[in-house]
Amino acid sequence: MGVLSTLKETLQASTQSGNRGDVTEGESKGAYWCHDCDERIRDVDAPGEGPPNCPDCGGEMTFERSVGSTGCAC
Ligand SMILES: [Zn+2]
C-alpha cells in the first residue's frame, strides 16, 4: 500500500497548492454591496472593472472581501 499512500499524499499536496476544483469560488474575491438597499453583486458578476452602480439607487457600491476560504493563510 506504500505506492497508494504516496500517491494520495501527492494529490493532497497539489490540491492544497492553490488549484481548487471550484472555479467560481476560487475566482470570486468578494462582492460589491449597497448597504442602503442591501443589494449585492459578486465581483465575478460585476460588469467591467471597478465598482458597479447599485441597480436600485444608482450609487457606487462598496467592495467587501469575502471571508472564509481565503480568510486564513495558515
Ligand atoms: Zn442602492
User: CA–CA separation, 53 vs 18, rounded Å?
Assistant: 32
pLDDT in tens, 1-56: 667 777 777 767 665 555 545 445 557 889 999 999 999 999 989 988 889 999 99
CB atoms within 10 A of CB 69: 11
Q: How far is the CA of 29 from the centre of ligand 1 (A)?
A: 21
* pLDDT confidence of residue 47: 81
Q: Look at residue 57 and tell me whether its pLDDT is greater than 80.
A: yes
**Matching residue, cell 441597480:** 55
Contacts of 10 (CB under 8 A, 6+ apart): none
DSSP, residue by residue, the chain:
-HHHHHHHHHHHHHHHTT--S-HHHHH--EEEEETTTTEEEETTTS-SSSPPBPTTT-PBPEEEEPPSTTT---
Ligand 1 ion: residues within 5 Å (CB): 34, 36-37, 54, 56-57
Q: How far is the CA of 54 from the centre of ligand 1 (A)?
A: 5
